[in-house]
Amino acid sequence: MKMYKTIFSILICHFTFIYCGDKPNILWIVGENFSNDLACYGQANVKTPNLDRLAQEGVRYTKVYATSPVCAPSRSAYITGWYATTTDMHHMRSHRDDDFRLPAGVRPITHMLKDEGYYTANITNIGKRVVGTGKLDFNFVNEGPVFDGKDWGQLKLKEPFFAQINLPEAEYDIYDRKSAEKSRVKWVGESWHPKIATPQNVTPPPYYPDHKITKEEWARYLNSISGTDVRIGWILEELKNDKLLDNTIIIFFADNGRLDARGIHWCWDSGLHVPMIIWYPKGVEAPKQIVPGRVDDQVYSLLDIAATTLWIAGVPKPFGMQSRVFLGSNSDSPRSYAFAARDRIDETQVRLRSVHDNRYHYIRNFTPGAGFQTLNRYKEKCFLVKPLMRDLYAEGKLSGPPADLMKPFPNEMLYDTYSDPHEINNIVDSKNQEHQDALNRLRAALDTWMVSTSDRGHIPEPQELVNEFSKEMHDWFGTPDWVQEK
């Protein structure tokens, strides 16, 4: 009789995927508003020893692109595995107070993981240390709780777990407009920021003017990365103390690109290109793609962490899910292209579409007259370089890439990211045949994607809804004098 009970238990575990002690824990560490600006990616004036070690012991991915350059649409995509442009979640912070429900067949992956025995948590504290914001920022609110809890102490009691930690940096100080002071201090909130970057030793990207404010803001951003790494050290230490490290797979990534004026909100690489590191512990058998110290230069969409996380947990990818599994012996076919979209952000109605291949980046502008100068009250208030550049441009004191940045967007932009990593030379009109071939290829790829995924960007939102956002942003950040004078 005992033998039959044992056989029955084994069969149950094998055929129903019920947890029987062999499923790994999975931890997402989400950096908010970072591009590939870690030391292990070659960035100067940062100190990231903990992330560098994860990269040395795991896999560092160099060409991962968010599906949106702003948090809510990007997060809504990677938590469901569907493009926000398909599911009607492509506008910033939409569907917060209506009866919107996710389309049939679309669910948060946390619900799927819970169905298979995982405890899910969105961690904010480890003891008295703040490690996460608890941020969700999804464009859906009517699907029930997305996570089971937020208490770190529950993790070791409820294995297997899927946990997310949304790191507090890098938005720690933009609201108080004190970038100069923050670039010089060592303590920010509860996070120790090594004083690596200073206005004197940094070199900001060439699309910004050579100015004191530019250097102060760039130093602030880089120091927030160093501070983030310290916080990650706390997390790794606690995993080890709780004897969870040997059975926990860590995936580090950012939700969208840099928290700077030309980064977040815009479809250049500075707004879309994100880091990703996957680390497997010694206690979990790694798939063939995970080799310590490997650098993966394949094109990935951040969307793909959804299906891949399900695969790690032994959960089949739902039919129709647009996310792709990129690990394992039966992984999905690799991507040739990564797509992204930007639509309304706060009160600002600008529609952009983007596609990357392994080398070239194509952006299409659907909003004539829009550009870097287009009003967004949050960015006018919080990113000091934007009003600075507006004033310098009006005074005729900008030239080269900074002056070009102040001009309205053309209908199309094409960049060779190998020879032009800062994307300051638009080669749409280049006579080079290779450039023209890339242009035609990426145009066709974008057209195909927009049709095949039922991109909803052409459907306007009600103007009264946009007006509400204008009022809300005015109440939060005020409206610049130059707008009120018009």
**Residue 380 has what pLDDT?**
93
Q: What kind of fold does domain 25-484 have according to CATH? A: Alkaline Phosphatase, subunit A (3.40.720)
Cα–Cα dist 354/372, whole Å = 16
* Cβ proximity of 263 and 174 under 8 Å: no
Average pLDDT for runs of 10 along the chain of length 486: 42 39 92 95 96 98 98 98 98 95 98 98 93 94 97 96 89 53 47 78 97 93 90 96 97 96 97 98 96 98 98 97 97 98 98 98 98 96 94 97 98 98 98 98 98 97 95 93 78
**Residue 176 has what pLDDT?**
55
- Of 226, 238, 131, 233, nearest in space to 187 by CA: 226
**Residue 14 has what pLDDT?**
40
**Residue 313 has what pLDDT?**
98
Q: What is the pTM of this model?
A: 0.93
**Residue 446 has what pLDDT?**
98
Tokens representing residue 166 in the block: 């949304």
